[in-house]
Amino acid sequence: INQFVPVLTAALWDELNAEPAKPLLNRAIAEVYAPGSVFKPLVAVAALETGRVSPETSYECTGYFERGGYRMGCWNLHGHGGVNMRRGIEQSCNVYFASAGLQCGYEAIEAVERAAGLGGQTGIALDGEARGLVPNDAWKRRVHKDGWRFGDTCNVSIGQGPLTVTPLQMAVVAAALANGGTLYRPRL
């Protein structure tokens, strides 16, 4: 039975809007999430644009990245061995992207994020579109009263940490990566 047809009662509307799971929320545009590994190609773009990392630059994945007491695991607990950019993307290697992110610097990653439209709206003609968050040193100082650290760069480089996006934003990014770099405004 479809409770929306022929009419949606006021009682059902109120009940659905009170649900903790928010069944009427358009999550594709109105909720933000850490993008995870689908973000890693943007780090590759930033690394290439700085010239500090080439497609042949290789980092050794032992199953974890460690620096100054900070440790981040890779999904492959045994490690990938030597990983260049292509293999880093193919294997979604956290060690590769943490290393490449530190090599190119967070400022370069942030510039690519913003150029890709993250932290803003896609412009789709729907109400309630969220912006997501492109964090940086100023944001962290304002919100957490602490400066940006290399661990923050490592976390963002694998699509984690305070970075948030909408699913639609990442779909726009994926399309731009596939088509050679043109950001299209989604439309219905």
3-state secondary structure of 158: coil
Known catalytic membership, residue 92: no
* Rounded Cα–Cα distance for residues 121 and 130 (Å): 7
Q: Any idea what DSSP says for residue 121?
A: -
* Rounded Cα–Cα distance for residues 160 and 94 (Å): 11
In the numeric block, the tokens 């439209």 are attached to 117
* Rounded Cα–Cα distance for residues 149 and 13 (Å): 46
* Rounded Cα–Cα distance for residues 95 and 71 (Å): 10
Radius of gyration over every alpha carbon of the chain, rounded to an integer in angstroms: 20
* Rounded Cα–Cα distance for residues 112 and 140 (Å): 19
**Minimal CA–CA distance to 133: which of 153, 101, 162, 154?**
162
3-state secondary structure of 186: coil
Catalytic residue, from 37, 54, 99, 157: name it.
37
Give catalytic residues, as residue numbers: 37
